[in-house]
Amino acid sequence: MTFKAAAVQFAVVAGLMVSGGSVLAQEKPLQLVGFGDSLMAGYQLPETDALPAQLQVRLRARGIDAVVFNAGVSGDTSAAGLSRVDWSVPDGTDGVVLELGANDALRGIAPEQTEKNLEEIIVRLRDRDIPVLLVGVVVPPNMGAAYAARFNAIYARLAEKYQLPLYPFILDGVVLQPGLQLEDGMHPNGKGVAVMADRMLPVVEQFSRTIMDKAK
């Protein structure tokens, strides 16, 4: 998707979501971007089943007039995310849910490089005054204990350094649950994404309300 197309889609979705009696009175919808890989994009799922869409529904049910734009790209590594963050996150974005690193781990990329890429993404967004909610990844056991220890520590370290809210594990409650996964045994199905959205909601809701409070 080009920058122009992404910006147009973002604006159109935002315009469509302004109405709704159950949401709080806001001057404009809260503009969030789910930025990540296939776990954010909704691999092989309808757009309505993807994580951003499911979070949007839940936020609105909690009284937050939010649009959660899907900027997930299947297969993205942290390096690929870094290469597109400037145009994938449009001007006017109020906050980013950042989820990257799973493909780095699957490829055995050095954790130090992944951390460097994620940090640069965070810095670029911070320089644009865009708050970040960091979503972590836990390395599969087959990558070895030493690699896992180095990799899994990335997210808490970055969250502490930049004082970011952190959701520690994107697949919490879904991993190793066949009924919540696609046939590949790696990606969540629609029910699995629903579990992810339910578990993430308290953190995403608090993140959203903090942004709204600061804007008052």
* Residues acting as catalytic residues: 38, 184, 187
Tell me, letter by letter, the H, E, C secondary structure of the chain: CCHHHHHHHHHHHHHHCCCCCCCCCCCCCEEEEEEECHHHHCCCCCHHHCHHHHHHHHHHHCCCCEEEEEEECCCCCHHHHHHHHHHHCCCCCCEEEEECCHHHHHHCCCHHHHHHHHHHHHHHHHHCCCCEEEECCCCCHHHCHHHHHHHHHHHHHHHHHHCCCEECCCCCCCCCCHHHECCCCCCECHHHHHHHHHHHHHHHHHHHHHHHHHHC
For residues 76 and 100, give the distance between their C-alpha atoms in angstroms, rounded to a whole number. 8
